[in-house]
Amino acid sequence: MGHWSYTKGLHDLGNGCWGYIVPDGSWGWSNAGMVTDGDACLLVDTLFDLKCTAEMLEVMRASIPAAKEIGVLVNTHADGDHTFGNQLVQGARIIGTEGTVTDFDRFDPALLHGIAQNPDQFGKAGHFMAECFRPFDFSGITLTPPTETFRDRMTLMVGDKRVELIEVGPAHSLGDTLIYVPDDKVVYTGDILFSEGTPIAWYGPVKRWIDACNIVLEMDVEVVVAGHGPISTKEDVRRMRDYLVDMTERARPLYEAGLSYLDAAYKIDLGEYRDWNDAERIIVTLRTLWDDFEEAPTRPVHVPIPFFAEMAEMREHLGKPSVHHDYFCNHDH
């Protein structure tokens, strides 16, 4: 734990850099950020629904003069919890990797809305998705993907401040991007860092995600704003990288013994990681590791919804409370 409080809202990182942090970092509760210099302003990601994003933009505009007019929005990746509020950032350039734009095809807010309203039609997967996404309202969302794309690297100027966009996907998603502000020693990682929670490797190779962690570890940074969880440091990146390294090492013998990824999920020694939030995500990461180990010439593309049934069973097996249990106990909804 650093010296930052883990409270909802805007956190001043100094020199015009900000983190917008949303505890508890579990399913759907994502972070965003802002980089400013003078009147110039860059927004890092939006949130999972219009209400959450509108609230965030209001808080930013009330506290940061430059936020009155957001010139640039950068999406760290395509996942809805980082992009579904994009339509509210009117007039901004929206920038992301080519992979991120391709990845937008995976998401249909109307489908998610339908599942949340009527989970029965998707069985166990539907019920777990409805549980994961119950704090959110997916009505009224129009997918608004980036209009400017790049590959590998892109340098932006925010006022006189240099911001480096560094493509590190496919890893967690198809188009993961780090947003690095070298002069301020700040990096926004998107979901390359889940801080105090379990990462989920939708794409991989997992090795590529480990490499992305190593890129962050080699940066001269003091503050790391994760995609989920509290404001972090390199120590948190190291801890999450070790999870990916350890899971890869512990999974390989199970793969070589001929187990399916699903059987392996119940056999693998999670060790200390069993206590991490949302540990059921090991299911998806093992599926990706199985593809990694297979070394097939083309990687298969998996439909995400069925994984939610498998993760629901794993979560029960691990004896975890329902997702957002604390949120719904502490709030009057």
With binding defined as CB under 5 A, does residue 278 bind Zn ion? no
Inter-axis angle of helices 109-117 and 123-132, nearest 10:
100
Q: What is the maximal distance between C-alpha atoms in the chain? A: 59
Considering the complex, what minimum distance in angstroms separates the CB of residue 27 from Zn ion?
A: 9
Considering the complex, what minimum distance in angstroms separates the CB of residue 263 from Zn ion?
A: 26
Kindly state the tokens that stand for 175: 């188009």
**Closer residue to Zn ion in complex, CB, 79/292:** 79
**Closer residue to Zn ion in complex, CB, 303/329:** 303
Considering the complex, what minimum distance in angstroms separates the CB of residue 44 from Zn ion?
A: 12
Q: Rounded to an integer, what distance in angstroms lies between the CA atom of residue 63 and that of residue 155?
A: 27
**Closer residue to Zn ion in complex, CB, 106/299:** 106
**Closer residue to Zn ion in complex, CB, 29/180:** 29
- DSSP labels, 61-107: HHH-GGGGS--EEE-SS--GGGTTTGGGSTT-EEEEEHHHHHHGGG-
Cα–Cα distances in angstroms (integers) from residue 184 to residues 43, 44, 152, 305, 324, in the given order: 16, 16, 22, 40, 34
Taking CB under 5 A as the criterion, which residues in 225-244 touch Zn ion?
Answer: 227
Cross-strand partners of 161: 158
Considering the complex, what minimum distance in angstroms separates the CB of residue 297 from Zn ion?
A: 27
- DSSP labels, 239-255: HHHHHHHHHHHHHHHHH
Stretch that binds Zn ion, among 49-57, 68-76, 189-197, 265-273 (CB under 5 A): 189-197
Considering the complex, what minimum distance in angstroms separates the CB of residue 183 from Zn ion?
A: 27
Considering the complex, what minimum distance in angstroms separates the CB of residue 195 from Zn ion?
A: 12
Considering the complex, what minimum distance in angstroms separates the CB of residue 168 from Zn ion?
A: 13
**Closer residue to Zn ion in complex, CB, 64/210:** 210
Stretch that binds Zn ion, among 88-96, 221-229, 274-282, 299-307 (CB under 5 A): 221-229
Closest residue to Zn ion using C-beta atoms: 79
**Closer residue to Zn ion in complex, CB, 30/198:** 30
> Which residues fall within 8 angstroms of residue 156, CB to CB, at 6 or more apart?
42, 72, 74, 95, 162, 163, 164, 165
**Closer residue to Zn ion in complex, CB, 36/75:** 75
Taking CB under 5 A as the criterion, which residues in 55-114 touch Zn ion?
Answer: 79, 81
Considering the complex, what minimum distance in angstroms separates the CB of residue 197 from Zn ion?
A: 10
Cα–Cα distances in angstroms (integers) from residue 179 to residues 19, 22, 220, 315, in the given order: 12, 19, 13, 33
Cα–Cα distances in angstroms (integers) from residue 130 to residues 162, 256, 276, in the given order: 41, 36, 21
**Closer residue to Zn ion in complex, CB, 81/310:** 81
With binding defined as CB under 5 A, does residue 191 bind Zn ion? yes
**Closer residue to Zn ion in complex, CB, 64/215:** 215
Taking CB under 5 A as the criterion, which residues in 113-172 touch Zn ion?
Answer: none
Considering the complex, what minimum distance in angstroms separates the CB of residue 31 from Zn ion?
A: 8
Stretch that binds Zn ion, among 131-139, 219-227, 250-258, 273-281 (CB under 5 A): 219-227
Could you report how far apart the first and last alpha carbons of the chain are, in Å? 30
Cross-strand partners of 232: 224
> Which residues fall within 8 angstroms of residue 75, CB to CB, at 6 or more apart?
45, 46, 82, 83, 86, 94, 95, 96, 100, 145, 146, 177
- List the x/- string, 8-37, binding to Zn ion by CB under 5 A: ----------------------x-------
Binding stretches for Zn ion (CB under 5 A): 30, 79, 81, 191, 227
